[in-house]
Chain A
Amino acid sequence: DAGVTQSPTHLIKTRGQHVTLRCSPISGHKSVSWYQQVLGQGPQFIFQYYEKEERGRGNFPDRFSARQFPNYSSELNVNALLLGDSALYLCASSLPQGSYGYTFGSGTRLTVV
């Protein structure tokens, strides 16, 4: 049974560019969350989607957006990239209540130069 899959694994972009990151949740999980992890820090909450609706948003600028598709996969989009957006972007899937645990994907390492 496949876990949470993310693509691409690594990405290098130039300041000002746009990036799209993708995530497929565990089969049966309808909730997808996105987290940003800067080196040396814990993951920071960006978004959660459940049943294709945004359920919550963290303290991130409007340059960050996301959506969830009918098959529960999700995309995270970041516009006008800044050097400070360089981070590991993690996707986690869960059952709606969350208390059964969040399973994280291996992440996308984004480097902005």
Chain B
Amino acid sequence: GQNIDQPTEMTATEGAIVQINCTYQTSGFNGLFWYQQHAGEAPTFLSYNVLDGLEEKGRFSSFLSRSKGYSYLLLKELQMKDSASYLCAVLNDYKLSFGAGTTVTVRA
């Protein structure tokens, strides 16, 4: 089975940093994705990790530790438009298994 856990909600102030953790236990692993989803819209790709370590892409960074079954998404210099749900998803062969999502609210 697949078990992917992430916090339900997080709140942060504009300009601050927020770290969203994701832990997973899955029967197979071909990589881990982070997606951003605004209410009522499609998930949009943020990052992909398949090897251990940190991947940096502008204000967003993602980290993976395969031995610990752990990843995090780091959002820096938060902007109001970053208020959204952030989904952690594990790829197993051809299938993505998603966590329930973390709703991030950015306050002025």
Contact = CB atoms under 8 A, between A and B. Distances in A.
Interface in A36-89: 40-45, 48, 50, 55-56, 58, 88
Contacts of A102: 33, 45, 96
A104 B94 contact: no
What's the interface size class on B, roughly?
20 to 34
B7 to A, nearest CB: 13
B108 interface: no
Contact of B87 (A33, A42, A58): A42
Query: Which 4 pairs show the lowest CB-CB distances between chains A and B?
Result: A42-B98, A104-B42, A106-B42, A104-B43
Interface of A: 31, 33, 35, 40-45, 48, 50, 55-56, 58, 88, 90, 92, 98-99, 101-107, 109
8 contacts: A31-B94, A33-B94, A33-B96, A42-B89, A88-B40, A98-B91, A104-B35, A105-B42
